[in-house]
Structure 1
């Protein structure tokens, strides 16, 4: 790892704000102002990510596993008659974006996503439009919603957007395509969790942090065809970039001059490529280097981009394994094996106050589940009903529980199982 002063998404120059391609740095600055422990929380996340990477560094390969992520594309448009065109982009434009994602994340030969760089990585992640909706109905993986609002601030309005339509982020990667304002053309949620190391703030603050999870892309920068596309960001790489953030990757300069992205095989650079050119750029931080302007996490024009690195792959895998949200999605992609009888196991147990409780639940086939939490006097504290579930991990809320013993009960239509849990300091 690059061992320099911790500086993810710190304050950014006015030039970057004026020409910002991505809203992540802007959002992070606002979170720093709102939460006094935001920097420490990110530092804790980085420590844990690096620890996981250290544990994996002696493996011959990071993993042989290819993750296939179900995607839902939510088109928010201003066409009252629902006609295709303008903000109501076509299916063809959406399919072109999914194709680009798979070319870029799999480093496919014969495509714009291929490179011959010695540190170039096949990220072993694929993206497929969802074939079923959250209720189990057949779906194209595309939703279309008419709205009257003519554009959104991706940073300030992200929760407003999520309230319009959002599928379960523990089962799908949500991508919203709509009109952006203020010059920002993309934004993504980073794999932090409010349950991870504690956010602080009110319960409303935590709820707001948990609400939005996914990627926002301006309709003029989504896909490669069929619509009104930007002349600079017109090959689908804005979505590639933002999903990189969703996977835990940072801008190459860590959003400050000579900052860090915690990847050794990306050069330490002074600034991102804010030009419309693919011309060579150099930086003089510790030593003089040539910028990797072709990296998907830079701000370069789409035609310049063609590389994720091995360390970026390693980092994204570590972030996926650390984030509660991302792990839930991966677990839902490949449910646990079935058991003839209902069985549950609480992980960890005991668990510290404020930390997430993960409930391993296995049973036969597909079942409706009722999950209830009781105190030791038998009083019902929480209840949640889940429909059409398969064997899987379920994350339970723990923000409001005090120290002590509790009972978790899981019921199907024919079985009921309980287990004690200890909450400790």
Structure 2
């Protein structure tokens, strides 16, 4: 999410016009208009994020974090009828430009020494997240992790047409981070879906289905702000940090000011600021919130600063992403699916954690292993034998499977997993 200042000279004195470069704040307003419980959903998400963050601060969890590797598929949506790849002003960007962006993500999220992603800030941290282009497509065939789709349309409004973009091509968002690269209209150069997909404790059965999040999940970037080489890049946002920023939103991070005057991003180690950096320079900025003068952290990836200014994620931002990853059903599935399980000769089922407190632990997680590919039949019953939920899945491999626990009453449940005539039953305890 970036903001640029354009100088308009029309036979008059110069004037500055700020344009919104990130679609997340714009989309948030539209979601508030479309879904009556959107603000309630956000509030509950934040309260539960805070619970997990506090737990992490009071434990060694943040020291013991594992390094995640997220598979990425880049969908290039272009209007080059001849399918020419690369070159100036060509939306159908070159493979090298895509690979440069993946490299930049890894430099920034791992705070790599000797790169633009390294910093010596006292609160700067290694996010311990790697990104790699997928090597297998949804049908398990070899892939470069890059797709190319021709359309006649010259560009898209990322917020208004996000589901239209996703309808063109989208891989399973529980197995891949989908990044679409195309031309943006209306000044927006990046947009990302936020992990509000969980059924949060407190919203209850009346929670509206957030259909937009079922249709679209991922990141959209203007081709002129993707990577740092090989094509036509913008002047100030040409080092790949637009994608670093938007992936931050996809992981649950907010702008430092929460898109409000002296607002909050719920991270204590990012300064409370009046507004985002609307300059095209890296000059020092100060804010005065609650009568406290403070220097803005314009080098934070979640600000609107030019790419060359950015090089910091903080410890609290890392804790927040870990908390969001534990709350979001889709994000948890993606991380689990990114680490293929070892097959077992016979069907094996493990429930973790068990007992389960939905407020603290989230959904029921089943680790299911077997040999080769099999059709799976999974049923959840209460102790009266009443069917609560079932899943019928074809041609599955060993993996993780989830049941939502938010609506379940405290008590005992039985889950039955059947594969190729073999059935395993496990007792599950729900506590509150």
> What is the aligned counterpart of 2:260 among 256, 259, 270?
256
* Alignment length (residue pairs): 408
Return closer, same or farther for 1:361/1:66 CA change in 2, 3 Å cut-off: closer
Q: 1:145 to 1:171 in 2, by over 3 A?
A: same
3-state SS in 1 of match to 2:20 = coil
Structure 2: where are the runs of 5+ without partners?
2-14
Moved more, 409-418 or 168-177: 409-418
Residue among 270, 288, 300 paired with 2:305: 300
Q: State the match for 2:28 in structure 1.
A: 28
Supply the distance in 1 between the matched residues of 2:404 and 2:303 (Cα, whole angstroms): 36
Partner of 1:371: 377
The answer to whether the 8 Å contact 2:106/2:129 transfers is yes
Deviation (angstroms), 1:411: 3.1
Structure 1: 5+ residue stretches without partners: 1-8, 10-14
Q: Matches of residues 211-222 of structure 1 in structure 2 within 5 Å?
A: 211-222=215-226
Q: Does 1:149 align with 2:150?
A: no
TM-score (norm 2): 0.84
**Partner SS, residue 244 of structure 1:** helix
RMSD: 3.3
C-alpha spacing 1:34/1:243, structure 2 compared with 1 (3 Å): same
- Rate the CA distance shift 1:303–1:383 in 2: closer, same or farther, 3 A: same
Q: Residue 356 of structure 2 contacts residue 364 of structure 2 at CA under 8 Å; is this kept in 1?
A: no
Structure 1: distance between partners of 2:212 and 2:409: 22
Instruction: Tell me which residue corresponds to 1:389.
Output: 397
Offset of residue 281 of structure 1 = 0.8
Q: Is the 2:18–2:278 Cα contact (8 Å) retained in structure 1?
A: no
What is the deviation of 1:314? Answer: 1.2
Answer yes or no: is 1:280 the counterpart of 2:281.
Answer: no
1:320 matched residue in structure 2: 325
The yes-or-no answer on 1:66 pairing with 2:67 is: yes
CA contact (8 A) 1:258 1:270 kept: yes
> Match for residue 413 of structure 1?
420
8 Å Cα contact 1:133/1:139 also seen in 2 = yes
The whole-number CA distance in structure 2 between the counterparts of 1:300 and 1:201 is: 40
Partner of 1:44: 44
Partner residue, 1:54: 54
Moved more, 225-234 or 77-86: 77-86
After superposition, the Cα gap between the structure-2 partners of 1:107 and 1:341, relative to the gap in structure 1 and judged at 3 Å, is: same
Alpha-carbon separation, structure 2, partners of 1:135 and 1:98: 23
Question: SS of the residue aligned with 1:48?
Answer: helix
Rate the CA distance shift 1:270–1:393 in 2: closer, same or farther, 3 A.
Answer: same
SS of 1:307's equivalent in the other structure is coil
Q: What displacement does 1:111 show?
A: 0.9
Alignment of 1:177-256 (within 5 A): 177-197=181-201, 198=203, 205-256=209-260
Shift of 1:397: 6.7
CA distance in 2, matches of 1:133, 1:282: 47
Displacement, 1:254?
A: 0.4
The answer to whether the 8 Å contact 2:204/2:407 transfers is: no
> Using a 3 Å threshold, how does the CA distance of structure 1 residues 402 and 66 change in structure 2: closer, same or farther?
closer
TM-score of the aligned structures, taking structure 1 as reference length = 0.86
The offset of 1:320, in angstroms, is: 1.1
CA 1:57 to 1:396, structure 2 compared with 1: closer, same or farther past 3 Å?
closer
Mapping of residues 78-89 of structure 1, within 5 Å: 78-85=79-86, 86-89=90-93
Contact 2:263 2:273 in 1 (8 A): yes
